[in-house]
A and B are shown apart, each in its own frame.
Chain A
């Protein structure tokens, strides 16, 4: 039976681990503007990436956005997940499809939708102008706010679906029992539903955090030229700068940062959940 794990493991090994090893090797090479990549065994790319205040800032931005978006996603996603989980089954199919639909539309299209909404000539500014609430256009697009809204919207369905599955497994009667004992709706939520769905919150947060850290299309399209997150910065180095060793080093820094924080986060959450 153990052999059943082999095909999948081999596939991931060949198509992920081996290429990443190749990338790791490249990250130790030396970059030269004329020859591009010189075989070497140097840590200079890592040292440069860590020491450069610009990339420190990019990493900090990425972490900040990922953290903020994860928190927002939990706050917004929990009620939505509860609503979805406790819905009668005939309407629930529609609600489930509505939750899945954005996932199938893709980040590029959704970003285009946000651009049409947030642009200076976009829907929101036009509405504000029509209501005489503003004179000039509000700068909404190409701001960190636009990126946070965009990324939150992208990862929300994952959180909602993860949490809904967990909430569904909480017996409704536990909530009814609490209400019967005198708990208001918000107390039921705080004292019964929330503690029982903590494992789901942990799983969802880890997933969402990773997705936020790795966000590419949304920050690229909504953040504007002055806003940089790690994944676009990595791609920039590979494609615009043709500096593969440095791009590879940045990629590994992003990967390690994500993994370390994910592990710490899930350990903290699971300890709290057990305690």
Chain B
């Protein structure tokens, strides 16, 4: 049917993807420009910004930190969120609406607001507990788990709603106790939802800037924060080179993920 679609449809699809991908493509292009202050057309092409990006250790370190934080936050947040979504969908909870609003809350609060509030809260907690929280990995991970909860609850709930419950009933009928039913039947059936939740949780954590801004510490800066810090002081194409490498790595990661779990069937 696609061939019979009208001009508006086609141009909207093209415009939509152009809008999403244009800045990404642009970043890749300018990473090769020779001049320090970006202007078109380029005065020449060079790889020097890649060298520079490599020498600035904060980017490589930031990438590793971001990966680490995103992986741990996803590993903690997705099980918590999945459990909560399951309880919300199946248990008879008093105040279900309120709890589900609470769990979606981190999505509604602006990142800079939540980040500032959390930073001040952490500082108070440090005094009470006499323990470092800001600028520690645990403090950062905890904040990022917060980011993963609403996405997980959202996506797993959608998955639960679309699920045929007869398989669960069959398992119970065959003698499985509720936890077994959950682990052996429900969870595997929810897999697309859970994988989608993990993917989005990872994305939310990996690219987060606002919530992270005040919670990072020296030697433990995430990649987006390292990039903003760099951009604040320099506009040369080093940032573009870092981003290009990041785009390549991320694309490779997604292609690998896609081999195991078809992304098109998950999202």
Contact = CB atoms under 8 A, between A and B. Distances in A.
Q: Do chains A and B touch in the complex (CB under 8 A)?
A: yes
A95 B262 CA distance: 12
A105 B250 contact: yes
B83 A5 contact: yes
A217 B12 contact: no
Contact of A78 (B12, B99, B239): B12
A167 interface: no
Contacts of B209: 106-108, 216-217
B108 interface: yes
A22 B118 CA distance: 9
B267 A5 contact: no
B163 interface: no
B21 A98 contact: yes
A164 B266 CA distance: 11
Interface stretch (B24-32, B50-58, B168-176): B24-32
Given A2-B91, A19-B117, A121-B39, A102 B111 contact: no
Contacts of B41: 126, 130
Nearest to A159: B16
A45 to B, nearest CB: 14
A160 B16 CA distance: 9
Contacts, number: 307
Given A8-B80, A16-B114, A156-B20, A93 B262 contact: yes
Interface string A12-51: 1101111110110010000000000000000000000000
Interface string B217-230: 00000011001100
A167 B106 CA distance: 27
Nearest to A92: B264
A251 B113 contact: yes
A269 interface: no
A12 B106 CA distance: 8
Given A76-B12, A121-B39, A18 B121 contact: yes
A95 to B, nearest CB: 8
A29 B2 CA distance: 60
A173 B120 CA distance: 55
B243 interface: yes
B251 interface: yes
Given A16-B106, A126-B40, A210-B107, A9 B99 contact: yes
Contacts of B26: 113-114, 116-117, 123
Given A3-B87, A82-B9, 13 more contacts: A1-B91, A5-B99, A8-B149, A76-B16, A79-B10, A95-B264, A106-B207, A107-B224, A110-B23, A113-B26, A114-B22, A210-B108, A251-B113
Interface of B: 1-2, 4-6, 8-10, 12-13, 15-17, 19-27, 29-30, 38-41, 80-81, 83-84, 86-88, 90-93, 99, 102-103, 105-114, 116-118, 120-121, 124, 142-143, 145-146, 149, 153, 158, 162, 178, 199, 203, 206-207, 209-210, 223-224, 227-228, 231, 235, 239-240, 243, 246-247, 250-251, 254-255, 258, 262-265, 267
Listed from nearest, the 7 A-B pairs whose CB atoms lie closest are: A113-B23, A126-B40, A121-B39, A19-B121, A19-B117, A214-B110, A92-B264
